[in-house]
Amino acid sequence: MSKPFDIEIASLTDALDPCCATALRPSSDARNDPGAKSFYIETFGCQMNVHDSEKVAGVLLARGYRPVDAAADADFLLYNTCSIREKAAQKVFQRLNDFKFAAKDNQKVIGVLGCVAQQEGEEIFERAPWVSLVCGSASYRNLPNLIEQVESGGRRVTGLDLDTDETFETEITRRDNPFRAYLTIIEGCDYSCSYCVVPHTRGPERSRASDSILVEVRRLADAGYTEIQLLGQTVNSYRDPSPRKWNFVDLLLAVAEIEGIRRVRFTTSHPNDFTREIVEAIDSTPALCDHIHLPVQSGSTRILREMRRTYTREQYLEKISWIHGARREFSLTTDVIVGFPGETEADFEETLTLLDAIQSDGVFAFKYSPRPNTPSLAMPDAIPEEEKSRRLAVLQERQRQIQIARNEKLVGARFEVLVDTHHTARSQWAGRTTSNRIVNFSTSRENFLGQYVQVHITRSAPNSLIGEEVQGGEAE
């Protein structure tokens, strides 16, 4: 029998994994004219960044560039950065040093995009003079113009404007995931959580017009995508800027109705804008996935107030009670920050009891660390590093026990799985259920990546389920 495997808690959902590096790779539809100028994009950060890079790649394809899969082969080298990581700027400058030699020898053009570009601004030119372009995400709509300036020999070209009500839309988006299409519906953030750099790096909240979103979803369905993931820093704050003025639920229902779309996900939701109508829409619409990622950050109302999260423990728990009361069995995941300045043992204990109460299927837990340009940077009562590590370990173990118990109850169940991975060494396939659970399974069939299959669960692990394909049980 092939060996099952399990993954870390942080991988259970891919909601906002802050520390993954991705290189955009050439796809079969990429332009492969060897005479064309080439580009390479290296991406750090969340799905929003990954999808931004897909759209930036689209801008370059439209200008006749061709993608390459090694920085050394590229004429235009772009580095899409993330400032959630600790010492983010320092790491960016280290990486830019790697690029320096390539730039000198081969006359490459180097650009820095994303949150660190916005945060450090023109300082990047001072510390890395071989960089020609610095552009934050709120200015991506100007990229064609900025790239033209760089192509004409421009040096120190910047896009650092945060004062915008426009979103970044492209004619072409070069998507790398063949099974799940990301689609940003809202950019920026109007909240001001005291630990977060996003309002400073991504600008104010701006939603994309519903018509334009639906046109893109129809195109994706025509291209064979069956699963759509709607993205936004606060995705459920969506407000249609067009005259029909749809809210988030209106949009969700319209996307779910598009022919060919079988699964619609969304991330990340803010508890303040999480309404009972969202739960009711999912409950009554099978194409809307029964998974909610709802970051709580702390179980203590006092700490939530210090974090400026705009809800209390009780208000969060009330929203969770709507999810627990739904007819469909929802999967829930959340984010927690431990060791926020001033967090007492009693505050931390409240976070643990909240995890017991909500019974989530995954927690992204982080130790607090201060970030530049955030109000919490100056807060007193910092928690020692060893204590933060202790709390994190305690929390992770508590959550692990919750997940073991929850997953054991799923043994014997049957799930529809969208197959997205083949582990050759283990002779196993893997995919996700509509509730975003990872299922590893064996089958005698071959070559069915991208298909929906029925899997009978035979064993469980803390972070995944293990099963066997139900022969003859293929979904349509």
Q: Which residues contribute to the site for ligand SF4 (CB under 6 A)? A: 189, 191-193, 196, 198-199, 233-234, 270
SS3 content of the chain, % helix, strand, coil (to 5): 35, 20, 40
Angle between helix axes 385-408 and 345-358 (nearest 10 degrees) is 20
What is the maximum alpha-carbon separation in the chain? Answer: 64
What are the φ/ψ torsions at residue 310 (nearest 5 degrees)? Answer: 70, 15
Closest contact distance (angstroms) between CB of 271 and ligand SF4 is: 9
When the beta carbons of 72 and 377 are compared against ligand SF4, the nearer one is 377
What are the φ/ψ torsions at residue 78 (nearest 5 degrees)? Answer: -115, 140
Closest contact distance (angstroms) between CB of 47 and ligand SF4 is: 13
When the beta carbons of 315 and 454 are compared against ligand SF4, the nearer one is 315
Closest contact distance (angstroms) between CB of 196 and ligand SF4 is: 3
Given the structure tokens 């929203």, which residue do they identify? Answer: 319
Closest contact distance (angstroms) between CB of 262 and ligand SF4 is: 29
Q: Which of 14, 206, 201, 177 is nearest to 112 (CA)?
A: 201
When the beta carbons of 52 and 420 are compared against ligand SF4, the nearer one is 52
Question: Six-digit token pair at 287?
Answer: 């194409």
Closest contact distance (angstroms) between CB of 263 and ligand SF4 is: 24
When the beta carbons of 229 and 435 are compared against ligand SF4, the nearer one is 229
Burial of 302 (0-12, 13-18, 19+ CB in 10 A): middle
Closest contact distance (angstroms) between CB of 203 and ligand SF4 is: 11
When the beta carbons of 202 and 388 are compared against ligand SF4, the nearer one is 202
Given the structure tokens 């749809």, which residue do they identify? Answer: 246
Question: Six-digit token pair at 3?
Answer: 């060996």
Closest contact distance (angstroms) between CB of 229 and ligand SF4 is: 17
Residues 6+ apart with CB under 8 A from 69: 23, 25, 26, 40
DSSP track, 254-285: HHHTSTT--EEEEE---GGG--HHHHHHHHH-
Closest contact distance (angstroms) between CB of 199 and ligand SF4 is: 5
When the beta carbons of 183 and 198 are compared against ligand SF4, the nearer one is 198
Residues 6+ apart with CB under 8 A from 340: 195, 298, 303, 306, 307, 368, 376, 383
When the beta carbons of 58 and 199 are compared against ligand SF4, the nearer one is 199
When the beta carbons of 4 and 232 are compared against ligand SF4, the nearer one is 232
When the beta carbons of 237 and 460 are compared against ligand SF4, the nearer one is 237
When the beta carbons of 50 and 438 are compared against ligand SF4, the nearer one is 50
Closest contact distance (angstroms) between CB of 300 and ligand SF4 is: 17
Residues 6+ apart with CB under 8 A from 366: 335, 336, 337, 338, 392
Question: Six-digit token pair at 27?
Answer: 């796809």
Residue type, 461: A
* 39 within 8 A of 65, measured Cβ to Cβ: yes
When the beta carbons of 137 and 464 are compared against ligand SF4, the nearer one is 137
C-alpha distances in angstroms, 411 versus 99, 164, 326, 327? 50, 50, 22, 20
Q: 200: alpha, beta or left, given left = phi > 0 and alpha = psi -120 to 50?
A: alpha
Q: Which of 358, 269, 279, 361 is nearest to 314 (CA)?
A: 358
C-alpha distances in angstroms, 9 versus 23, 366, 397, 461? 24, 12, 10, 11
Question: Six-digit token pair at 99?
Answer: 């690029």
Closest contact distance (angstroms) between CB of 268 and ligand SF4 is: 7
Whole-angstrom distance, CA of residue 306 vs CA of residue 321: 25
When the beta carbons of 66 and 270 are compared against ligand SF4, the nearer one is 270
Closest contact distance (angstroms) between CB of 270 and ligand SF4 is: 5
Question: What are the beta bridge partners of residue 227?
Answer: 180, 263
Closest contact distance (angstroms) between CB of 392 and ligand SF4 is: 19
Three-class DSSP category at 5: coil
